[in-house]
Structure 1
Amino acid sequence: MIARLFLPAGESRVAQILDRVLGLAEAEVERLATELTAEFGNRHPDYERLLGRHAEAVLAQIGARAGLTPARRLVLGAAFTAEYATEAAALCNPSAMTHPDQSGLAPGQVRVAVSVRGIGEGHISSIGFVSAVIGPGPSWSFEPRGLPLSAGVAAPARWRREHLRSLLDDQGIIDELGETILGGLPDLFGGADLERALAEIGPSVLDRSAPTVVLLRLLVSSAYMVEFGDETGLTQRVLMPSATEEAHGMEDARFTRFTDAAGRIEYRATYTAYDGRRIAPRLLISADLRTFRTHRLAGDAARNKGMALFPRLVGGRHLALCRSDGENTGVSSSADGMVWNEPVIVQGPRESWELMQIGNCGPPIETERGWLVLTHGVGPMRVYRMGAILLDLDDPTRLLARLERPLLAPVPADRNGYVPNVVYSCGAFPYEGRLWLPFGIADTRIGVAWLSIDETLDAMVP
């Protein structure tokens, strides 16, 4: 459960509610504030500060600057706040990675962080986290989940000018005005820099180009950072939609622990933003799973769901699995990890259990024999099954081998749920010769399987 800003449609309704709050007698305001704190204060971290932020957001929306007592500010914030159950409808599509905290473990154990997709009211998806301990031997134990949940504090992030240029090119609006605006921006800029660049252009030009300006502001505002307090544990943190293009969900994060050319390590994840009509592939980056920044991805490969990053550079370039055409798996490259080239198709639907489409089930796993990629196939009756392929280590556009039969399929006891007949994962974890595979079951619960990496590779056909 989190507490999030809730704004009724229309500025007039917001203003009317504000007037009612301002019209309350001070004694009633004090009583309400005390009651709210007692009833909800232990359900949400830093509850009073959260309500203060929501009150400021409301006042800013209608251009009001009312002098409020602390109690009235709290009541105003609560009037525009609603609790939201992040997993009320579904829980699915986990992605496993090394946990940043490896303390308190016995020999032969490792702690993993697992991102999960929670789905709540309105089919809105968020990214949450659980943790588990593997070992010694073939043992997996989920650790207790911490409460209360925290949605962190979001703030605008900065842009690189060439990244924005690529996104504008994707939208087909690199024109004279676009070049003029870009020319007025520094190499690294934020929303205030964009407004200054717009202010230097005549109002008549901006009026004629309103759609371009609206899109520019929308794109620039879509980049943001989320920071969680040191007092929150990983399993208390949940990433909720903050950008307009993800207003209806942040879907299927595929995490990997990425190593750059200088040996620096950070967590990276691709996910799908959904605004209710369109999707947009996005990138999450975090050094510690406490502070996150997120940007829109650009380029030919960033046009569909299911991008998955390789955990290191290959041939000096970033690589990603993608499904830009909606049904085939390809490998795309990028110089900076933000703008992605047209992919090379490496696998298409072939077997009877993947007639409809195929895709990946998370980032590639590096083995001595090649990149092990877990896949999914969609067959008749929209049944999802999981398989695997092997790509060349030095040239991952070369498909070396594959499983002919599914690796994992829905069993009768697990076929029913929020989305029936689905087993699906967004990322497995290799440890001591085994591949640990957390997977969603009918989008209702999460199970875990393990398999021998060598046995799996041996079972593949060239």
Structure 2
Amino acid sequence: MVNIIKEGIVLEKTELGFEIEGVLNPAIIRSGDYIHMFYRAVAKGNYSSIGYCKLKNHMIVEERSDVPVLFPQCEYESHGVEDPRIVKIDELFYLTYTAYDGVNALAALATSTDLISWEKKGLIAPQIAFKEFYRLAQTKGKINEKYHRYNEHESIKEKKGKPVFIWDKNVIPFPRRINGKLHFLHRIKPDIQIVVVDELEDLTAEFWQNYFLQFNDNVVMTSKHKHEISYLGGGCPPIETEQGWLIIYHSVYDTVKGYVYCACAALLDLGNPQKEIARLPYPLFKPEHDWELKGEVNNVCFPTGAVTENDTLYVYYGAADKRIACASMSLSELLKELILNSIPNEK
């Protein structure tokens, strides 16, 4: 077992209108002397935007913006800008987020050169109805029956005057090109999938049709253990280590008291991240403190950002969908434990 230290709550909601209902699920990146945090802020009516603060060390907030830095401006994000992740690739910061229009939740992207001014690039997730997705994905054989359970939406084709698409969330870029190509993790429930492209402009409707024809080949991680039994999804951006890409993801299992969200860990192959090489058979950490057990959604540890300092890995997570907390651990200890749980001869 890996020794986990729950460092405690980093950020709470304020009385400011844009974050009066809660703060959660932060994107984290170290740049210069600071750790920069871009977090989901929730206003009344469950309308979300992205707030900003910077930390001098892993827990102390030195500066916090009193207005959101990203907020709904387009129809596709009219009900919320949610759950950001951030990396830096080729001197450009990539911030992915979930754009919610009240019906559909789809991944979108904004970029920046300075972490101050952001240019929205629009939706980068497929806009496809479940029926079409299912037809394409089953061309080469059956797919997990849970795709039907989580995405079918009772055959509703239109809601509130908008077409209904499969939800594609937790889109997370790798922090560098691999073999010259951009790699993104994403999640169409219940599994974690991967996308590989030369450039963002390749993410066309034709690309996605061909992608879904090979859908099972693009699934990276599926549920294996009891704490993942309902579904799993991406968490923090991948961390490059000598042993492989360290993936801190989230898992979900159902109980009589509702879903429980845990933080988990796995390794993907450095040269071929479509190949999983190790996974912990138990949660890295799970809800145990009052501030993780009770909130807008109870029993939630939802990891979305991480930084390393020497041999310490700090993982930032949404706690009960109401506040932001941090947990720390030895990176070398975690990697050693993962190697002990290597997966032989898998894709």
> In the aligned structure 2, how far is the partner of 1:319 from the partner of 1:294?
19
How far is 1:338 from its partner?
Answer: 4.3
- SS at 2:76's partner residue? helix
Identity %: 30
| Aligned with residue 268 of structure 1, among 94, 97, 102 | 94
What amino acid is the match of 1:329? I
Q: Larger radius of gyration, structure 1 or 2?
A: 1
> In the aligned structure 1, how far is the partner of 2:60 from the partner of 2:260?
28
What amino acid is the match of 2:37? V
Aligned to 2:239: 365
Aligned to 1:34: none
> In the aligned structure 2, how far is the partner of 1:354 from the partner of 1:130?
32
Query: Is residue 333 from structure 1 mapped to residue 199 from structure 2 by the alignment?
Result: no
| Aligned with residue 411 of structure 1, among 284, 288, 293 | 288
> In the aligned structure 2, how far is the partner of 1:282 from the partner of 1:348?
24
Higher helix proportion, which one? 1
> In the aligned structure 2, how far is the partner of 1:338 from the partner of 1:362?
24
> In the aligned structure 2, how far is the partner of 1:248 from the partner of 1:382?
24
Instruction: Encode CA deviations 1:7-34: one digit per residue, 9 max, x unaligned.
Output: xxxxxxxxxxxxxxxxxxxxxxxxxxxx
Instruction: Encode CA deviations 1:407-459: one digit per residue, 9 max, x unaligned.
Output: 11001423001111101121211221221111111011111111111111111
> In the aligned structure 1, how far is the partner of 2:331 from the partner of 2:289?
26
Query: Is residue 376 from structure 1 mapped to residue 253 from structure 2 by the alignment?
Result: no
| Aligned with residue 345 of structure 1, among 200, 219, 224 | 219
- SS at 1:86's partner residue? helix
> Which has the higher relative contact order, 1 or 2, with Cα contacts under 8 A spaced 6 or more apart?
2
Whether contact under 8 Å (1:97, 1:255) holds in the other structure is yes
Give matches, 1:242-391, under 5 Å: 242-259=73-90, 265-298=91-124, 304-324=168-188, 326-340=189-203, 342=211, 344-380=218-254, 381-391=258-268
Task: Give structure 1 stretches of 5+ with no counterpart.
Answer: 1-82, 103-110, 135-139, 151-236, 260-264
Aligned to 2:146: none
Task: Give structure 2 stretches of 5+ with no counterpart.
Answer: 1-14, 129-166, 343-347
CA RMSD of aligned residues (A): 2.0
Question: Structure 1 297/247 Cα, relative in aligned 2: closer, same or farther at 3 Å?
Answer: closer
Whether contact under 8 Å (2:108, 2:125) holds in the other structure is no
Aligned to 1:96: 28
- SS at 2:262's partner residue? strand
> In the aligned structure 2, how far is the partner of 1:300 from the partner of 1:399?
24
Question: Structure 1 118/374 Cα, relative in aligned 2: closer, same or farther at 3 Å?
Answer: same
Question: Structure 1 240/297 Cα, relative in aligned 2: closer, same or farther at 3 Å?
Answer: closer
How far is 1:141 from its partner?
Answer: 3.2
The number of equivalent residue pairs is 273
> In the aligned structure 1, how far is the partner of 2:100 from the partner of 2:267?
31
Instruction: Encode CA deviations 1:119-161: one digit per residue, 9 max, x unaligned.
Output: 0111011111111123xxxxx33223346x34xxxxxxxxxxx
Instruction: Encode CA deviations 1:210-231: one digit per residue, 9 max, x unaligned.
Output: xxxxxxxxxxxxxxxxxxxxxx
Whether contact under 8 Å (1:297, 1:339) holds in the other structure is no
| Aligned with residue 86 of structure 1, among 4, 18, 21 | 18
What amino acid is the match of 2:276? L
Whether contact under 8 Å (1:436, 1:451) holds in the other structure is yes
| Aligned with residue 402 of structure 1, among 279, 282, 291 | 279
Whether contact under 8 Å (1:424, 1:440) holds in the other structure is yes
TM-score by length of 2: 0.74
- SS at 1:420's partner residue? coil
How far is 1:298 from its partner?
Answer: 4.1
